[in-house]
Each structure stands twice: as C-alpha cells, then as structure tokens.
Chain A
C-alpha cells in the first residue's frame, strides 16, 4: 500500500452508469481518488473518459451509481455545485481570454474587491501581487501581471489555469487532456506543475491517452475501455506495454505493434 492512500478517499465514484438514450456510455465504473495522489484516467477515444469526468464535475447526472465526496453522498445539480464543493476542472480548451492580462484572467469571476466609501472597486494591487506570487510558485516568470495571456505558450496557459484552480481552493483538480496539444518541453512543464499541486495534498485526476505522460507523474492508473473499468493499478505494478494493451482492448494493437516494432 502506498503511504498516500492510507487515509480516506476524498471522492468515491461507485458503480457509475450513464446512458444516453440507447447508448451505454458508462457501465458501472468505480474509482476512488485520494488527496495528494495523481490518479491517471486512461482510455482510447470513446472509452468514456469524458463522460466519466463530466459526471464527477457535475455536468452530467449519473443514470445509476453513487458519488461520495468526503464520505457524504453528493448530488451535483450543475457544475457550480461541484466547483463550490472544491472540484475544479481545467479543460483542454481553457477558460482563458488571450486579450486580457494574466491577473485579470486569474481573478475572472472571482475579482477581489476593495471598499472605498460606499463603493466597491476591483483591488488591482492585491490581484497583481497574488498573481505574480502564484505564478512564481509554479515556476513561470511573467514580465508583469499586466502581460496578456495571449503572449503565453500553451503550457504556460495550462499552468495559469491550474494555479488559478488551486488558489481558489480546489480539493480535486480534474485535468482534461492537458498535454495533448503541447510540445515536449511544455508537456514537461505541465507535468512538473501537476507534481507541485499533488504535493499540496490536492487530488489530481489526470485524463490522458498518452501512457508516457501518465507514467511520468501518476500514482495510480485506471483504464477505461468501452464504458467499463479494467481495474486500477498502483505505480510500479504495471508496465507501459500492459497499460497500452488495456487501453486499446488488447487484440488489434498486438498485431499493430508487431508491424510498428513496438514504438507506439
């Protein structure tokens, strides 16, 4: 047993089913996520990863199954409930506005206010200071808090989004394919960020279909295939090849791998 997983799970998804009309997108998936772990959710396209995390973040209501958050059954009516509870999702297409400064983006929707007489104003001084501090913690050097997000690289934008979620008290951070559109160097930066977040005792759910990225930071790995889970593996108990096989459903990839010389 990993020392991290000895305490209680922060979120437990028990036998989650989700049907869309006659299509069964999830057929009884159970996953536990612990604080301070990076839980990788792997699966090929159409495996049900997106449906599963959307259920976790309150976008969908499960057809059957239970969600326990901090040991209490939760029924999220919409994503705001989940966000209020501390479940933050960072989407592949970010909630970042390129023309606005990093600090305006960082506090978008949560602007700090300063009272001047009867009026409340945006506390720019506070926003700028916090933004610089938080960015520095994540290892990003800004030219200034007024630098536009449009000038940041894709990896840096992911990091801003993650830092924002963490700053606003996320207990569970869901990252939806954060590395899929990034270069090697930027991917490394995002993975390093994930590691920093995990060390703050936040549960990270990392969705990816890249086995190497998963193995680089993951503590546990859950593979989804055709709406079912093929089990959860601990770090060190599974090889990249096994993960790859499980994701693709075994058969075809074995044949493919033969012709590609094991490079996939």
Chain B
C-alpha cells in the first residue's frame, strides 16, 4: 500500500491476503530461477569432477548459453508484443552467408559487409512485421514463409557463386578489422593473464602457450548477450515503450483505443528480433571463420523454448527478459552438462521437449493466478 494514501483504506473482506508463495508465483521469472537452481544443483552433484566447473568448462557452457540468450532476448520481446518469428534460424544462416559473400567473395572491407548485412536483415525483419500488421495474418505463417525463403537463398547463393555451401576465409579478411573485433574479439585478457599468474585459474602446463591462462579473455559473444539482456529488460520494464510492448501483446484493440501505436511497436520488435539473429550470426562467423548454409537450423524453436521456460505466455502480453535469459542459461548448461557428464547428447532433445511441456503447463496455471480466471 502506498504511504502517500490519504487515509488508511478499509480492507475489502472479499480480497484474500495473498500468501508470499502466491505472490512469488506471479513473477514471470520464477520458473527460470527454480530451473536454474535445479540444473546447477544437478550438475554440481553429478558432474563436479568432469571439468565442467573449471575455468575452461565455465567458459564453454557460458558461451553456449550466451548464444541462446542473444536470440532469446529478441524472441522474448516479440512474443510479449504478441507475435512469433520462425525465421530466426534461417536469418542466422542468411546473415552469416551475406557477411562471408560480401567480404570474402566480393572482397569488401569486413566492416562494410557487417553493416550492410545488419541493414539488410533488419529490413527483412521490418518486412516480416509489415506483412503481419498489414494483412492481419498470423505471424506464425508469415515468418514460416520467410523461414523457407531465407534458407533457400542461403543455400542457393553460395552454390551459384562459389559452387559450395560453406564459405571460409572470413578470419583472414577480418584480421585487424575494427568492427569484426566487436563480434569476434575477447576482452579483459589482462585480467585473465593476471589471474593465471596469481594461480586463481589454470595455465597451460606445456606446449607453445606454456604459462598462458587456458582462458585468455571473455568472448564478445558473452558481452553481447549480457548487453542485450540488460537493454531488453530496461526497455520492457522501465520505459514507456515497454508498456506499449505489453499492451500490444495483451490486447491490440484495447491498446489502439488508448492511443498506443500498436503496428509500429510490433514492426519494431520484428526488426529487433532480426537484429539479434544478426548479432548471433556475426559472432558465429567471426568465431568459426566461415559461413555455412546450414547454420542456425532449429534456432527459432530453441529461442521460443527459452522464452517460454522464462515464463512468457505464448499468447503474448506477459513475460520477462530476465526469465528468457535464465531459460537460455538452463539450455546452455544442460546441453554442455550432458556432454561433460558423458550422457548421450541426443537425450538433450528429450530433455528439451519435456521441459517445454512442463513450462507451458506451469505458465497456464500462473496465468490463471494473475488474472483470477477460473
């Protein structure tokens, strides 16, 4: 109750006091927090001596989680705004291929290739959004079409131009490029060298890199993931635009009646999702030094699952970026943890399916708690 209330209001006898548990339950992040604690407990118990929690192991699952996180943030905001984007995976493949073709095949400077690719992908995102808003078709169908269109081009272009489906050599042309370093570089190298020297983290025992720390910096991929998460969270919860995102997804008609520019909000969120896919692709291309026609396969679904585990409703209007980021973390930890624990990696898919089902059922229950529906 607000302290500035003019008088102590009389309690309504029909409003039951909410227990602390119920109050916590209606926070969208709850599922993500519980899940995170559960998977860390599990792997600490069963895989603690497998190298999963030494500096290299931590870097390993952090990187994988960060990949999921980048696309989950975009998918989360879009889902809260009431739409889906199934073309995220194809967009990852397409934008990676664009960068490789522009920089390696056409010989453009890498920074120009990256900027042109970003502009192109965000424009495709805007087109996705425009079609959805103008036609009123479900975004499921519109972006499914783009899933195939973009994937088709991603395979067709390198085959016609280079007669192969993987274009390598990006690392060579990206050497010393200022913008490429923003995606493929590492930071805090000095800190890790110091930690290595101080004996806090492991160093190479022998070989050409003897004495250097095994982890020589934080990949920019992780920085991007954290930056996008903070940006998305602040945008959603602390700004006017965030209120519009909730409103657009909660009830587009009611939002329009109140003066919310619903169409612009949705189109912008499609563009942001495309931007996130492009960040993912650029980091991946810089890391691998190549672009492949099959990159990003099924990523759209993994992003959606991370978002749903994070407590967002598939129907829109409710969710949390922090939750989605935790969903992505659960993903990364489990995928890599099963590897460290020596479990057959195909079981990861089984786990995905089960956790998705559990999360959706839990979310439906939570939705009833919030809205008081019965």
Contact = CB atoms under 8 A, between A and B. Distances in A.
Interface of A: 80, 83, 91, 94-100, 104, 107-111, 113, 120-122, 124, 128-129, 132-133, 136, 141, 143-145, 148, 150-151
B194 to A, nearest CB: 33
Interface stretch (B214-222, B241-249, B300-308): B241-249
B370 A133 contact: no
B254 interface: yes
Interface string B238-281: 11101100110011001101111000000000000000000000
Nearest to B3: A129
B146 interface: no
Contact of B371 (A91, A99, A120, A136): A99
B246 A95 contact: no
B168 to A, nearest CB: 42
Given A108-B255, A111-B240, A136-B5, A150 B246 contact: no
Given A99-B371, A132-B2, A132-B5, 20 more contacts: A94-B254, A95-B254, A95-B255, A96-B251, A97-B254, A97-B317, A99-B250, A104-B246, A107-B243, A109-B255, A111-B243, A124-B238, A128-B2, A133-B5, A148-B370, A148-B372, A150-B371, A150-B373, A151-B370, A151-B372
A120 B367 CA distance: 31
Contact of B12 (A108, A122, A141): A141
B247 A100 contact: yes
B5 A80 contact: no
Nearest to B9: A141
B15 interface: yes
Interface in B336-374: 367, 370-373
Nearest to B14: A153
Given A104-B246, A141-B10, A141-B12, A96 B240 contact: no
A97 B373 contact: no
A26 B197 CA distance: 88
A121 B235 CA distance: 9
Given A122-B238, A144-B1, A133 B6 contact: yes
B246 A97 contact: yes
A95 B238 contact: no
Interface of B: 1-2, 4-7, 9-12, 15, 18, 26, 238-240, 242-243, 246-247, 250-251, 254-255, 257-260, 313, 317-318, 367, 370-373
Nearest to A111: B240
Nearest to A146: B26
A241 B246 CA distance: 48
B15 A141 contact: yes
A93 B367 CA distance: 21
A97 B247 contact: yes
Nearest to A121: B238
A238 to B, nearest CB: 34
Contacts of A129: 2, 4
Given A108-B255, A110-B259, A129-B4, A99 B246 contact: yes
B314 to A, nearest CB: 13
- Closest 5 pairs (CB-CB, A-B): A150-B371, A109-B259, A97-B250, A151-B372, A109-B258
A63 B105 CA distance: 65
A121 B234 CA distance: 9
19 contacts: A80-B259, A95-B255, A99-B371, A100-B250, A104-B243, A108-B247, A108-B258, A109-B255, A109-B259, A109-B260, A113-B240, A120-B239, A121-B238, A122-B242, A128-B2, A129-B2, A133-B4, A136-B9, A151-B371
A250 to B, nearest CB: 37
Contacts of A150: 370-373
A116 B317 CA distance: 27
Contact of B240 (A95, A122, A128, A148): A122
